[in-house]
Amino acid sequence: MISLAHQIVPEFIDHNEVSEAVDLMMECEQLEKLIDFCNKNNYERVCDYLLACSDYAADTEELTQTLKTAYTVFRKFDKFTDALRVAQKMNDMDLIKEVMTQCKDRLTLKQMAFMLARQRNPYQPEDDEELTRIISNEKLSEHYKNLGRELNVLEPKHPDQIFKTHLEDKRNRYGAAKIDGAKKNLAISYVNAFVNAGFGSDLLISN
């Protein structure tokens, strides 16, 4: 039966029936063999389905096996950020260390460091002060403001600029009801807070 399943699975995958292939390997308790049938054209769909199945795992063993298979597939194709995401979901420090040490691209390493920082993961890289600072959220505020500068949103915006009130029909030609004053003020306050408060400056409260 297992030999027959190994013949059927490639056909399923080649004909865009990834879910059937994964389900069959699960039923045969041969999920780890699925790695051999993955290639650069289908591994994403396989991993997406594996991760979706992990939410409905019957027990811890099945959950671990499903996530470990997805992790191994991502590692096979050097998708380090995706592999780290799965390792974090498993909360496996050994796998986190493995993917962080095997990745050699500096920009990817920084991205993964920010992913670890977002989850407040205790992992500490050896002899890498820059990554250590990122993971510890030491300069989170500085990075946030740098992002705002890059996106050109650091300059505070007035709520009217966000609502684009200059495009409104001042004559109210369609007879639309006027907005209640209290609701309008509440809306303006929320918009001002969401857009400007994160950068520590605004045109409504500060001025």
Q: How many C-beta atoms lie closer than 10 Å to residue 74's C-beta? A: 23
Residue-level pLDDT at 178: 59
Predicted confidence (pLDDT) per residue in 82-129, tens digit? 999 999 999 999 999 999 999 999 999 999 999 999 999 999 888 889
Residue-level pLDDT at 141: 81
Predicted confidence (pLDDT) per residue in 170-200, tens digit? 555 444 555 667 887 888 788 877 777 777 7
Identity of the highest mean pLDDT range in 36-50, 146-160, 184-198: 36-50
DSSP 107-155: HHHHHHHHHHHHTT-----TT-HHHHHHHTTTTHHHHHHHHHHHTT--S
Residue-level pLDDT at 171: 52
Residue-level pLDDT at 175: 47
